[in-house]
Structure formats: C-alpha cells, structure tokens
Chain A
Amino acid sequence: MNFKKVIDIDTPCTGLQSWAAQLVDLAKHRGIHPDKLLKGTKLFYQDFELGKSNVSVAQFYRLQENCQQLDWQHELSFLLGRKLLNHNPLHSAFSQASSLKCLQKLLLQFPLHGLNLFNAQHRHHHRRHHFIINLSFGAINTAVEQFCCELFASFIATTCKSRIGNNSDLCFSFPYPEPKYIEQYQVNLQAKCKFSQQLFMISISDELYNKYLIDSCPSLLQQSLANLMQHTSPATPWLQLVRNYISAQPQQNLEAVAHYFAMSPATFKRKLKQHHTRFIALQDCIKRQTAVFNIITLAQSNEALAIELNFNDLTNFRRAFKRWTGMTPSNLRCQLKSL
C-alpha cells in the first residue's frame, strides 16, 4: 500500500511552532526562564522570534515534560489550551460555525496547525455524544498524556464557553487519578470532571451538540471554508494509521500489519519503538478503550463484551481486562456505582 503524506513523531509539524512559542512566552511571564524550559528540545528562544524553528511532536512533548517539572501551579496547559486557535486558519471558520456538530466536522476535516495531534472516535448513546480522544502520535509517558489531555480539554471548554456561553452540560473523563491541582480543572473547564476513567472522553448532550448558534453567519462560514480548501491537507500521523488499521482488523498479527504498511516486521517494530509503544500495547489500548466505554456508557455485560472483543471464554476476558485496567469488570462497575 502506498501512503502519501504520512508523518511521524520526529517530523517537523506545521503549527507546533506557534504553540511552542506561546507556551514559552506564557511560562516566561510566570518567571520560568525560556532556556530552562527549552532544555533538551534542541530549540532556541531566539529562533521563535525570528520564525526559524520547525518543531516536531517529539520536541513539543519534551517541552511539555519540562513544563510539568517547572510549572508548579500546573496552569500552563490550560492557558495554552485557550490559545490553540491563534494563528490557525481554522479560527475564522470556528467563530462562524452554526453548531457544535459543525465545529466537530471542521476539526475532523481540517486538523490544521497541530490539531492533528489529537483524533477522536465518535459514539452516540442515550441522547449523548461521546468522543474518545487519542493522541495521534501516541503518549510517550504519563506526564505528556496528562498535559495533552489538559490542553485539549481546555481548548474544548474555551470553545464551548465562547460559542454556547456555558459548559454545564460538558463532561470530561480523564484516564488518570484526580490531580492535586484540581482547582485548575474546576476554574478553567467549569464542567463535570471524572478521574481514573481509563480513557480520555468528552461527552455532550444531543440538545447542545445540535443547538443552532445564533451568532453564526452562514455566508462568512462559506467564505472561511473556501479559504480552508486552499490549504494543503495536513499529513496523517503514521501511528494513527496503524491504530485505525488495527481497530478495523483486530485479528491481524504483527507480520500482517507490517506487510500492510510495506515494511519488514523488524522495521515496523523499530518504528513503533520510536513512538514509545509496542504492537501488543496498541492492541491492548484499543481493546481496553472499547471494553471500558461499553461498560461505563453502554452498561454491556461481560458475555457481550467478550464476544465483541473476540475472546473465546469469559475467564480469559476477565484476566485480560484486569491486565489492561488493573481491576476486574465487576470492580469497575462497583466503582461507577459508588461515584
């Protein structure tokens, strides 16, 4: 198979320069020295001013790790989340979109200037829309995963607040335990937040998702869309392609998937390692997300889940579930009831 315009974690990515520069400036204003923040990223503050630097996802992730260490108030991810659309061609279309549904389609169709860092799986159940968010280039460690979740959650909360007016109907589920700095989540997101949920998910009601936004202007939206069409569509992250293929073909083994991506199993493994993951870890992550979502949202039984995930017997499914999440399916159900 021939893949054109595929990028990986070390390839410079358009738009990340603007995010990195804003992040460094925000940190600088809060007393963090730019050189300390850029340590190990191979980036220089002067290059941002001259517009010379090309930032890859790996460099942006390193910057996030430094931020987590130096920003003891943990507010930078939330502050940057409010500014993600600065210098982004999507900005004007976003301010004219007629509904949240329209906004979501725009994000899906034009993941420009760094927004391809995230991808979402859309599910609909019981008059609510659920978006399971994944990092397209993978999460290299928990610090980066947490920073990215905060960044994207803040971006969504800010967008909803500016277009709808309030976030009361939004619900965020985070894969990690409640952090010490919960105040940042309360004040910046102003929405319901659940922690230790095993997946990063955003939920919103049908009513709000389809609500017509009175401040939208269809003709200006068309004009913005015409401008967006002129931009070359961004390259697809390689890891996202692999994830999509494994989700669609869960039975395929490593050799078959490597063959599909026109590389030897050894090269394929090496490339996965470059993204800080393994084939089994990817398979487990996809199955874990399906299992957890089906239990917490669809209230599916173990039997139905085992069949859906191609397990031959329930014991194997329970054992695998415990390996993925650290708890049995019944423990997860009990935890949900207690919340």
Chain B
Amino acid sequence: MNLTFLKLHRSLLFILATMLICVLTLTLSYGHYKGHNNIDWFDVAGEGGITIMTLLWIFFILLSRPKGRVTNLLFAGLAIMNLSMTLDFIDEFVNYDKNQAWLSTIESIPAPFGMILMSIALYHWHQEQMSINLQLRNRERFYREHQLSDAISGLASADYMKSQINRELNLLHHNEHGFSLLMLDIAQFDCFNRQFGAKAGDKLLHEFAQVLTLNVRKNDLVCRYASDCFIVLLPDTPLNMADELSRSIINALESFSFQGSTKKTNIKQKVHRSLITAQHDDSTSALLSKLHKGLLNNKRLFEQTA
C-alpha cells in the first residue's frame, strides 16, 4: 500500500485522534456503565459497524487524495458524522446522570452538519473531477478502469485500445469519414536502453506519452500498444487529414529532447510511423496486424536508405 498521501495529512490525523480522545474522555468520565444485561448487542453491532466504516472512509480519503480544499471538506464532513456515530455508539454502554443528560441529547446534532459539509465537498469534488477529466480526455475517452491503464506511461493499455477500435468499427457506417489509426515507434529504443539503462528507458516512454497526449486533438485516444510502440486512434478522420496530423505529432515527438537525470544527456529520438484508415470489412485484429506490418516495412525502408 502506498502511504505517500497519508503522510501529508498528519495534521488532519492529529485532529481526528484528538476529537476521538476528547469524546471518549468526556463520555466515559460522566457516564456510568449500564451493566452487561442492559446492553442491546444488536444495536452495539450496528452502531459500532457504522462508526468503524466512517473511520475507514476517512482513512481511504486521506490515503488517496493530496492536500487541498476538497480533501479538507471531505475530512471535516466525515469526521463530524463520525463524532455523532461515536457518541451514539458509546451511548449503548453508558447511562448519564440527569445533569449530564445533554450528552445523549446532542449526539444527533453534529450528523446533519457533517452531511451538509459532505454535500459541499462532493460538489467541489465534481468540479475537480471535471477538470481532471479534461486532462485525461486523450487517455481514456469515456470509460474509466484503472486496471486498463499502463503503469509505465500512464496511458490506456492495448486491451482498452482494442475495445475502442471495436466500438469504432461497429459505428463505422454512422460516421462520414470513418476513423484512422496511427502507430508510432521509437527508433533504436533497444540501443537507448542499453546505453542509459532500463530506468531511463521507462522515463523516456513516460515523457513520450506526455508529449503525445499534448499534441493530439480533443477526441483522439492515445495508448501504449507494447514496449516502445504507441497507437493513436483518430475518430472521424480521413486518411489525408490523418496524414497531416501524424506529421505534426511526429514533428513534436522528434523535437522533444530527453533530459537524463544522472548523466548530461540531451537526446532526440527518431520516430517511425504507420497509418491506416479502417474499411467496413476490417476486424480489430486485422487492422492492428496491418498497422504493425506497415510499421515494420517503414522501419526496414528507413534502415536500408540510412
């Protein structure tokens, strides 16, 4: 489990711990134990379960989110709801004197405030998500499944690309121009790996992915096919337009210079490409196979001329 984000929230964890200690001290010092026979164990299980679950939600929120307003609001809402639930839970074990009866009276008051705060937090979370979606539009289109993204580049994986190509093939007769596929391959990537190491190789793939996503259109989808090979799905794009687009993408990639971290490296990479437009009788595997063969031919032609 990656605890990097949790370490950022030490102050929030401290607030939560202080709140729980105060509540426990207050209730246990004023209350008297009900006695074993007077405890309703079904209520204890139900209310205890809810209290633990809210603590678990707080833990996962802090584990998954960086610092910020939305995190603070989510934390505040959940912590206040947890306060109500903890009071309710302890209530199952203790009775209060008449002077301290206010403790059981106020137990349900914090919960609505917590819910209001949670609702505000969710609204801001929605706003935040819209902005993240905009940044991720070239990586996922309209389906999100974290297991379908590639760990090295952060792009969609080949499986996701195949499902999207399949979808585009099914919709082919609705589109005016059909769709095109562009395959890109980093030339001499093996040599790069041998020279600078596998870690630098992975870094190069990650940075290439970033440059690639910056240079495609809003509706295009980029994926890492395998190793140093990337695919861009260009929906509703005829071959001549795809050709122009691919040239500008390749220009951007070839102009990008890789900065190594340990050595003084400033390297530009040659990129090979292959481009096809889907036909009505194509299948996903046939399209990808054609695309890859085209890429190998282009690489061989380049090597022969070089």
In the complex, which residues of chain A have a beta carbon less than 8 angstroms from the beta carbon of B185? Answer: 187
Interface size on A (CB < 8 Å)?
24
Query: Does A119 have its Cβ within 8 Å of any Cβ on chain B?
Result: no
Indicate if B227 sits at the interface (CB-CB under 8 A).
yes
- B296 touches A (CB below 8 Å): yes
Q: What 0/1 pattern do residues 293 to 326 of A give for CB contact below 8 A with B? A: 0000000000000000000000000000000000
B298 shortest CB reach to chain A, Å: 13
Interface string of A78-101 (1 = CB under 8 A from B): 100010000000000000000000
Can you list 29 A-B contacts with CB-CB less than 8 angstroms, sorted by A residue number?
A29-B198, A29-B199, A29-B202, A31-B151, A73-B151, A73-B157, A73-B158, A73-B226, A82-B190, A161-B190, A162-B190, A166-B299, A166-B303, A168-B300, A181-B158, A182-B285, A183-B225, A183-B226, A183-B288, A183-B292, A186-B226, A186-B288, A186-B289, A186-B292, A187-B185, A187-B225, A187-B228, A187-B229, A188-B227
Report A-chain residues with C-beta under 8 Å of the C-beta of B190. 82, 158, 161-162
> Counting CB contacts under 8 A, is A177 at the interface?
no
Residues of chain A within 8 A (CB-CB) of B300 are 166, 168
- A184 at the B interface (CB under 8 A): yes
Q: Which residues of A contact B228 (CB under 8 A)?
A: 187
Q: How far is the CB of A71 from chain B (nearest CB, A)?
A: 10
Q: Considering only CB atoms and an 8 Å cut-off, how many residues of chain B contact the other chain?
A: 26
CA distance A161 to B190 in the complex (A): 9
A30 proximal to B (CB < 8 A): yes
A interface residues (Cβ-Cβ under 8 A, vs B):
26, 29-31, 72-73, 75, 78, 82, 158, 161-162, 165-166, 168, 180-184, 186-188, 190
Q: Which of A29, A72, A168 lies in contact with B147, CB distance below 8 A?
A: A72
Bound-state Cα–Cα, A188 to B303, Å = 18
B residues in contact with A75, CB < 8 Å: 226-227
> In the complex where A165-B303, A183-B288 touch, is A30 in contact with B226 (Cβ < 8 A)?
no
CB distance from A14 to the nearest CB of B (A): 23
Asked if B152 is at the interface (CB within 8 A of a chain A CB), the reply is: yes
Interface residues of chain B, those whose CB is within 8 Å of chain A, are 147, 150-152, 157-159, 185, 190, 193, 198-199, 202, 225-229, 285, 288-289, 292, 296, 299-300, 303
Inter-chain CA distance A73–B156, complex, in Å, is 11
Q: Judge whether B288 and A168 touch: CB under 8 Å.
A: no
Closest to A72 in B: B147
Contacts of A78 in B (CB 8 A): 227
Known interface pairs A30-B152, A158-B190. Does A187 touch B292 (Cβ–Cβ under 8 Å)?
A: yes
Other 7 A-B pairs with CB < 8 A, given A78-B227, A187-B292: A29-B198, A162-B190, A168-B296, A181-B159, A182-B288, A186-B226, A187-B228
Tell whether, in the assembled complex, residue A187 and residue B227 are in contact, meaning their CB atoms are under 8 Å apart: yes
CA distance A181 to B158 in the complex (A): 8
Taking CB as reference atom, which chain B residue is nearest A158? Answer: B190
Contact A187 B226 (CB under 8 A): yes
Instruction: Give CA–CA (A75, B229) in the complex, Å.
Output: 13
Closest to A161 in B: B190
Nearest chain B CB to A77 CB, angstrom units: 12
CA distance A43 to B292 in the complex (A): 40
Instruction: Name the residue in B198, B228, B229, B300 with the highest tally of chain A Cβ atoms < 10 Å from its Cβ.
Output: B198
Nearest-Cβ distance from residue B210 to partner chain A, whole angstroms: 18
Q: Which of B157, B159, B285, B296 contacts A190 (CB 8 A)?
A: B296
Q: Which residue of B lies closest to A25 (CB)?
A: B198
The distance in angstroms between the C-alpha atoms of A181 and B150, with both chains bound, is: 14
Task: Tell me whether B147 and A73 are in contact (CB under 8 A).
Answer: no
> Given the complex, which residues of B lie within 8 Å of A165, measured CB to CB?
303
